Structure 1
């Protein structure tokens, strides 16, 4: 009877460990996804900031006749757009790499 009890306890402990491992893995995956979402949001905010500042500078330059400021604004907008495009390319490549494992 004691060996049967030991086997039942071993099985119970094994099942509990496997279940715990699954829960921990799920938690880690969810945390990683949240972190990636935060990174994407930060990147979008950064490029949007560049585009908004560029628009303000460009319009300010046009109104005041300051071609240097207008050019700086156009450049800032281009930098914001380039950041968006670079992130899109990165996400596309990342998706392709992730799909290779499937």
Structure 2
């Protein structure tokens, strides 16, 4: 994950993302660098528009958040309803006791 973060830092700074730059960022952060992983990252990023990829992932995350929140809200409402019914029944029984007591 650190390798991707290094590439994102370089992208954010407007710098070229290459093996040397990624290695320097990671070394500056005090992270041990595996040259083969750096090479694999650079190869994987070849031809990728990072800005577009970030935009797509942000849109997907925003779209997923409301969809995930809706079932949780419905479940919370369902849990609250039985408790209210139980309270009503208890209150009704106490009222009947007062009539005979």
| Pairwise same-fold verdict (TM > 0.5) | no
Could you say which structure has the greater relative contact order, defined with CA pairs below 8 angstroms and 6 or more residues apart?
1
What TM-score do you get using the length of structure 2 for normalisation? 0.43
Q: Which has the higher helix share?
A: 1
What TM-score do you get using the length of structure 1 for normalisation? 0.43
> Of the two, which has the highest radius of gyration?
2
